[in-house]
Structure 1
Amino acid sequence: MITIRSFFILCVLALLVSTNLWAQNKPLPLIPYPQNVTTGTGAFIINKQTVMVLPPGKKYLQEADLFNQLMANTLGSPLKYGIQPKTNFIKLVTDPAITTEEGHHLLVDSKHIVLSAKNAAGILRGIETIRQLLPAQVETRQSTAEKQLVLPAVQIEDYPVYAWRGMHLDVSRHFFSVDYLKKYIDLMALYKFNKLHLHLTDDQGWRIEIKQYPKLTEEGAWRTFNNQDSACMVKAKTNPDFIIDPKHIIQRNGKTLYGGFYTQQQMKDVVAYAAQRHIDVIPEIDMPGHMMAAINNYPFLSCEGGSKWGELFTTPICPCNETTFTFAENIFKEIFEIFPSQYIHIGGDEVDRTSWGKSDACKALMAKEGIKTTAELQSYFINRMEKFFNQHGRKLIGWDEILEGGISPTAIVMYWRSWKPNAPVIAAKNGNKVIMTPGSPLYFDNIPDKNSISNVYHFNPVPEKLNAAEAKNIIGAQANVWTEHVPTENRADYLVFPRMTALAEVLWTNKQDYDGYTERLNQSLARLDALNVHYRLPDLLNIGENNVFTSQTTLNVTKPLAQMSLHYTTDGTEPTATSTELSKPLVITTPQTIKLAAFMPNGLHGDIYNINYQQQAFADPVATLTLHNGLSCNYFAGFYKATKMIPFEKPTGNYIVNEVLVPKEATAPSFGLRYTGYLAIPETGIYTFYLTCDDGGVLNIANRPVVDNDGQHSAIEKEGQVALKQGLQPIALNFIEGGGGYTLKLQYSKDGSAPKDMPADWLKH
């Protein structure tokens, strides 16, 4: 007969055995993955009798209290602090042998947990590791308390590779609540980020209280709906994540206004909240450009007595008047009081310097200081502000435009312009510290696709042209979230997650294990669910937007998550969780459009896939021709909103290309390209072509439309199919670049094979 006590012991032993087998056969569900992991035998059981042991003077109490919030969620009460017993304790230890900042050692065995670190930051990072080893339900308060929590036996030695592991949030274009900032900080801490860059001011809104200049928030924090709001409103008709957040809409003097700002006390509270999690909040007050919200209320700041939109950017503040520096210094004095960070971001990007060139005051200053260009005049402003920052014990950060005209080697450069690959190289060789945040792939406001996470995960922060000594000036990287078209917290979550997790692993671990990472990512989604994160669901693979068949084909989708259900419609309506379920392969015998989406039990749903099916006969090849290798490429310098606007006559240049790449002669800021010729198709079959464009492109083969990836947008891959007979098939590819860096890539596959680069011997003209 088995007693109750014996039965309990057997259950615990079974649990320990299963935990050990799990630890041996699967990677620990940790992101970022630790530098060194050794799994052990058995597990540690946390229960209400477990004691938290702190160093003398209750050192690390703040970090322990954060851990105890999780314990209270699940056990019903926090663990007690006390003297070390013989067993069943969690001990936090200062270890001077650990020399790396944020480094830590974690030992978990059946008797205790010992977490050692050099300092409190390392202890907190280790606690986040323990947090991820615990079940996801620790994240939310349970209605019924658990009796115990189980951690697998393990030894971990861990430390970060990069000192700057950052996330950015633009709260100027669209405003975000204090609660959301704290949620963002919590999630950053979970994945071991340590820098939060807040973009607090821009043309569209001033978001931080400055007591000496109250109009900045009384007036500058509010606006009538602008063109970015209206673009969101259009998208909101089919996607509620684009609804303008009503929390930030007010009525004033008969007008509907959008906006908001943080009081100094609110922001001090946010800064303190981040500091508890060892995250540094870096404010950005963007100047001399992007200052319309300030200039509209203090017109003396510009050389022209006001601000307006130019061809691309707004009129900046005037660097030639002492009143401008008085204003700027007064603002930053208040900023220094709110933000203790040694780093302060001044922006310095996208400055329309036209008004400076017309200003008599600027002409006089340039003559006095020996300044030859307006780019050097911008450097004069940045360098003078840097000296002011340094006098107050702060370090200046600016976007990579501050390199133009020359900067001091002590300024920190934040590199963002992907189309200026030498900028971080020049800065690092100059001795400047560099933070890498290139638009591709680290602008998380760019629309994600099936390649986005992989692109982030395989990003290398160190440019190839740097030697080992120069590479030390690359201090890390961050992802940016610009919010022109991000009006809600749900939309921000969707764009950031799960891409943030990929960047976390790049910056902390810096080891390539993409398959292991994706497995761990899928395991971690339950934690994001518990934290109420509106993340983007994993992509449904092997689905093309435009598909063809000769007699019939099959829609066969493998669910990336077992708990997903797939639902579709064929009548043009958006699929819901009650639409027809795609539970088995669907045979397609007639032309049609299927709308398909994935749904989770908690109500989260994925992107809607518009899957078009067209019946085609195999396209006959053209007659045998005498041809030469390569495609013909006509280059048209100029700005074109869409590929149909590219002219057919009088190209700027004509070139022969042996790859589908932008020719090196295409040097204009904006341009269009027309590629024409033939593809030497080696076998009859249904071919899929994958066209990645930034900005836009349209592909036709055999005089049939195959891929429409048109418009002004970031790098997005779209695909389409065409049925081709062996032989020469006409190809026409039109591409536009609107300015700000381009991407063009064309791959193919046949009859469902993996994508490949286009062979050069296929290209003829």
Structure 2
Amino acid sequence: MGAVLFSVLLSISVARAQEADPARYAIVPYPQQLVPAAGDFVITSKTRLVLPSDKTFFSKEAAQLQALIRQGLGQALPVAAKAGNGTIVLKQDTQLAGEEDYTLAVTPQQVTIAAKTPTGMFRAVQTLRQLMPVAIEGVKNAKLAKMAIPAVKITDHPVYGWRGMHLDVSRHFFSVDYLKKFIDLLALYKMNKFHIHLTDDQGWRIEIKKYPLLTEQGAWREFNNQDSVCMEKAKTNPDMAIDQSHIIRKNGKTLYGGFYTQAQMKEVIAYAAARHIDMIPEIDMPGHMMAAIKAYPYLSCEGGSTWGPLFTTPICPCNEKTFEFAENVYSEIFALFPSEYVHLGADEVEKSSWAKSPLCEGVMKANNLKTVEELQSYFVKRMEKFFNSKGKKLIGWDEILEGGISETAILMYWRSWVPDAPVKAAKNGNKVIMTPGNPLYFDGIPDRNSISNVYHFDPVPKGLTADEAAHIIGAQANTWTEWIPSEKRADFMIFPRMTALAEVLWTHRQDYDNYLLRLHQQYKRLDQLKVHYRMPDLDGFTDDNVLVGKTVLKLQKPAPDISIRYTTDGTAPTMSSPELPEAFIVPGPGTIKLASFSPSGSSSDIYTLNYRKQSFFPPVNVEGLQSGLQVQYFGSSYKGVTKLPDTADSIVHVSNAIIPEGMGKGGKAFGAKLVGYIEVPETAIYSFFLTADDGANLYIEGDKVVDNDGWHAPVQKSGQVALQKGLHPFELKFVEGGGGYTLKLEYRVNGGKIQAVPDSWFKRK
């Protein structure tokens, strides 16, 4: 009977949680159980703080709560000995199960926060913070007379122990102040791991006292091709500008870069630890080591490092001096970072220099290694033994599976095109952290699907039993910064996507519509914190549009206080550009640029709408057609769809605009043409939305409807075509540069819902 009653009460609790006003309880990530209540607890200067009998146990967390209150009221609360009306009570509850578990009870009379550990108490304070007025954020004193907290009862804990964010500071360097801001935002959304990618070909960012040239030389570079791309984009987007504070003049050269001294990094690590966030260092090896090898050429088998077919020359795993270097470097890293986890990297290794090395031939023979993949495994396993001897646990990218993996290494899965990698690792008993490129590479250009893709991500891959799934310890998003040269651009790429991931990993219960309502409230907090987040998407148009008679552009604002501004002269919209009328009559062929702006000055993407005149295409009459499309396959690498040849290597058939399973297997480059007819059910202007990784173009009636060509991460482009009811020639050209592909075609008609194109519309000969 007790179990039945508990089940009923839990059902009531969940139902109430679903009914909670998302504006009143705008908490992200959402708690496991939230029961709303009437009234508010009002914090004033007369409110008192009550600490547990051991006043030192939650002393740091109490100080952090006091800091939040001081930001609101301008003063901290007096401490009282006993609980009562008008008190905020912190207490330890040893009956709670987990290190991060907490309960929060708010009534009009009292606030009670209970946790088992200081970590749990800190997570609770962050929840309370999100219930406080947004005016407290980003200021020393908001000069509030009172702060109302809505009454509520919360019981909360995380589902996953690894809730991480990664930041690459090698390709572009970020200041200590930005690292602290980043850590504060991780803490706000209950993330607990900060994976910092400290070294790569483009820069060595951490002081190593035994090898001073790593930063004297390796931390600086002349501008490279990635920097040039950023500079070009900065002409129309100031967020893409290179940070001038990281540019120096030395020996008559302009150099770009920077590094953290060990003292600076200790400060950042302590800052993270105070917010109960582990910092996970990554010194990437044996590949991605050009910055180190240029300073110490003996580290490679050939002496020096150059670019190979794909990646740079790695360090040599067949020379004892290499291991001496690696162990010395990591010894200094271990001394800096208290985290038990350390990331070795070990991805994207160009092994051709190993295959030609007499030294490696000898090492492989002595250790019965048959392939260079096994030689990489030899390097990783030897480094893991060193890690373990120092009390550290090794993490590697999923390439460490190749050639064999130890049972204790932790695998970080990123290669979406190798879906069985995390399954193999979990079945082998290895812990796995999920970071698949799609959707968790936040350097990929965001579009209207990005937040949804992250929110609906399931960390547990298919094919695992419940016991095996327990080896999936969590997930993280990775932000690689080849084309993220500024702190504003980093904010834009990471937020608000990170909030969606935070809810996936903490709550693991999907309620996307409710999340979006809470996210709209979070924007106000991010505004106060001066986070240059990506604004909500504008909708109601495509990239390329057709004019058939009078055309009216009508857009709905994402929020009432957002303004949509436009230009028609090709310049980028600013806050001073005219505001788009509710119903804007398109003047004729040409270009309209749109952007939305928040009151704080955050701006959206710049949307470029191209308009061209077009008459309705009449249908064609073709007999003897079958359902589906013909797929012409080309098994080579092509930079763009216009490079595809006329003669295919093979032909197969599909039911829709999809790539057949098995094409591009193993991450190989290829091209494809999907050819046939599309039969539309009514005369209308059809909007098509084409998502592709890498490139794809859509042609209907020989007219290029959507241009999404080129090698790039998954991104959506759109276009329109005016079609009479009936049958029309259809062609979709696609290229994949290698590393896993995405292809998705959707449509909308007459302003309706964006949806998949039905199979029944496609016909082929």
Q: Superposed, which structure 2 residues align to 1:225-374 within 5 Å?
A: 225-374=223-372
1:184 aligns with 2:182: yes
Aligned in 2, Cα 1:189/1:51: closer, same or farther, shift over 3 Å?
same
Aligned to 2:220: 222
Aligned to 1:51: 48
Following superposition, the deviation at residue 687 of structure 1 comes to: 1.2
Q: Which amino acid aligns with 1:759?
A: P
Q: Which amino acid aligns with 2:338?
A: P
Following superposition, the deviation at residue 45 of structure 1 comes to: 1.4
**Contact kept? 1:72, 1:141, Cα under 8 Å:** no
Q: Which amino acid aligns with 2:655?
A: N
SS of aligned partner of 1:316: coil
Q: Distance in 1 between matches of 2:486 and 2:579?
A: 30
Q: CA RMSD, aligned part only?
A: 1.4
Matched positions, count: 743
What whole-Å deviation, never above 9, does each CA across 1:385-435 have from its counterpart, x for those lacking one? 111111111100000000000111110000000111111000000000000
Following superposition, the deviation at residue 482 of structure 1 comes to: 0.3
Segment of structure 1 superposing worse, 29-38 or 585-594: 585-594
What whole-Å deviation, never above 9, does each CA across 1:123-169 have from its counterpart, x for those lacking one? 00000000000011111335662221111111100000000000000
SS of aligned partner of 2:704: strand
Q: Distance in 1 between matches of 2:183 and 2:232?
A: 31
1:653 aligns with 2:667: no
Q: Distance in 2 between matches of 1:23 and 1:670?
A: 49
Aligned to 1:537: 535
Q: Distance in 2 between matches of 1:375 and 1:553?
A: 60
Aligned to 1:403: 401
Following superposition, the deviation at residue 728 of structure 1 comes to: 1.8
**Contact kept? 2:70, 2:141, Cα under 8 Å:** no
What whole-Å deviation, never above 9, does each CA across 1:510-552 have from its counterpart, x for those lacking one? 1111010000000111110111100010001222111223212
SS of aligned partner of 2:303: coil
Aligned to 2:675: 676
Match of 1:212 among 206, 210, 213: 210
SS of aligned partner of 1:285: strand
**Contact kept? 1:42, 1:153, Cα under 8 Å:** yes
Q: Distance in 2 between matches of 1:124 and 1:438?
A: 29
Q: Distance in 1 between matches of 2:687 and 2:634?
A: 28
Q: Distance in 1 between matches of 2:599 and 2:759?
A: 48
1:578 aligns with 2:573: no
1:664 aligns with 2:664: no
SS of aligned partner of 2:691: strand
Structure 2 residues without counterparts, runs of 5 or longer: 1-18
Q: Distance in 2 between matches of 1:328 and 1:407?
A: 20
SS of aligned partner of 1:583: coil
Aligned in 2, Cα 1:511/1:665: closer, same or farther, shift over 3 Å?
closer
Following superposition, the deviation at residue 680 of structure 1 comes to: 2.1
Aligned to 1:197: 195
SS of aligned partner of 1:106: strand
What whole-Å deviation, never above 9, does each CA across 1:177-206 have from its counterpart, x for those lacking one? 000000000000000000000000000000
Q: Distance in 2 between matches of 1:724 and 1:165?
A: 48
**Contact kept? 2:693, 2:713, Cα under 8 Å:** yes
SS of aligned partner of 2:728: strand
**Contact kept? 1:23, 1:152, Cα under 8 Å:** no
**Contact kept? 1:27, 1:516, Cα under 8 Å:** no
Aligned to 1:11: none
**Contact kept? 2:69, 2:75, Cα under 8 Å:** yes
Q: Which amino acid aligns with 2:38?
A: T
Aligned to 1:700: 699
Q: Which amino acid aligns with 2:755?
A: K
Following superposition, the deviation at residue 656 of structure 1 comes to: 2.0
**Contact kept? 1:271, 1:281, Cα under 8 Å:** yes
SS of aligned partner of 1:578: coil
Q: Which amino acid aligns with 1:39?
A: P
Segment of structure 1 superposing worse, 158-167 or 632-641: 632-641
Q: Distance in 2 between matches of 1:73 and 1:399?
A: 42
Q: Distance in 2 between matches of 1:157 and 1:456?
A: 25
**Contact kept? 1:629, 1:763, Cα under 8 Å:** yes
Q: Distance in 2 between matches of 1:32 and 1:599?
A: 26
Aligned to 2:723: 724
Following superposition, the deviation at residue 85 of structure 1 comes to: 5.0
Aligned in 2, Cα 1:356/1:565: closer, same or farther, shift over 3 Å?
same
Following superposition, the deviation at residue 554 of structure 1 comes to: 1.5
**Contact kept? 1:51, 1:84, Cα under 8 Å:** no
SS of aligned partner of 1:58: coil
Following superposition, the deviation at residue 44 of structure 1 comes to: 1.1
**Contact kept? 1:445, 1:483, Cα under 8 Å:** yes
Q: Distance in 2 between matches of 1:665 and 1:653?
A: 13
**Contact kept? 1:44, 1:108, Cα under 8 Å:** yes
Following superposition, the deviation at residue 759 of structure 1 comes to: 2.4
What TM-score do you get using the length of structure 2 for normalisation? 0.95
Aligned to 1:86: 84
Q: Which amino acid aligns with 2:50?
A: V
Aligned to 1:467: 465
1:41 aligns with 2:53: no
Q: Distance in 2 between matches of 1:23 and 1:741?
A: 41
**Contact kept? 1:688, 1:719, Cα under 8 Å:** yes
Following superposition, the deviation at residue 351 of structure 1 comes to: 0.2
SS of aligned partner of 1:561: coil
Segment of structure 1 superposing worse, 47-56 or 729-738: 47-56
Aligned to 2:11: none
Following superposition, the deviation at residue 671 of structure 1 comes to: 1.1
Aligned to 1:30: 27
What whole-Å deviation, never above 9, does each CA across 1:466-492 have from its counterpart, x for those lacking one? 111100000000000000011100000
Aligned in 2, Cα 1:702/1:24: closer, same or farther, shift over 3 Å?
closer
Q: Distance in 2 between matches of 1:724 and 1:568?
A: 29
Aligned to 2:516: 518
Following superposition, the deviation at residue 683 of structure 1 comes to: 2.1
Q: Distance in 2 between matches of 1:733 and 1:337?
A: 55
What TM-score do you get using the length of structure 1 for normalisation? 0.95
Q: Which amino acid aligns with 2:124?
A: G
Following superposition, the deviation at residue 233 of structure 1 comes to: 0.4
SS of aligned partner of 1:523: helix
Aligned to 2:553: 555
SS of aligned partner of 2:214: helix
Q: Distance in 2 between matches of 1:140 and 1:736?
A: 46
Q: Which amino acid aligns with 1:544?
A: T
Aligned to 1:738: 737
Aligned in 2, Cα 1:145/1:760: closer, same or farther, shift over 3 Å?
closer
Q: Distance in 2 between matches of 1:626 and 1:356?
A: 58
Aligned to 1:438: 436
1:501 aligns with 2:503: no
SS of aligned partner of 2:557: coil
Q: Superposed, which structure 2 residues align to 1:366-405 within 5 Å?
A: 366-405=364-403
1:611 aligns with 2:605: no
1:170 aligns with 2:163: no
Q: Distance in 1 between matches of 2:759 and 2:273?
A: 55
After TM superposition, where is structure 1 displaced by more than 4 Å over at least 4 residues in a row? 22-27
What whole-Å deviation, never above 9, does each CA across 1:336-392 have from its counterpart, x for those lacking one? 100000000000000001011111111111111110000000000000111111111
Aligned in 2, Cα 1:733/1:144: closer, same or farther, shift over 3 Å?
closer
Structure 1 residues without counterparts, runs of 5 or longer: 1-21
Aligned to 1:482: 480
**Contact kept? 1:165, 1:504, Cα under 8 Å:** yes
1:132 aligns with 2:130: yes
**Contact kept? 2:198, 2:206, Cα under 8 Å:** yes
Q: Which amino acid aligns with 1:43?
A: D
Q: Distance in 2 between matches of 1:453 and 1:27?
A: 22
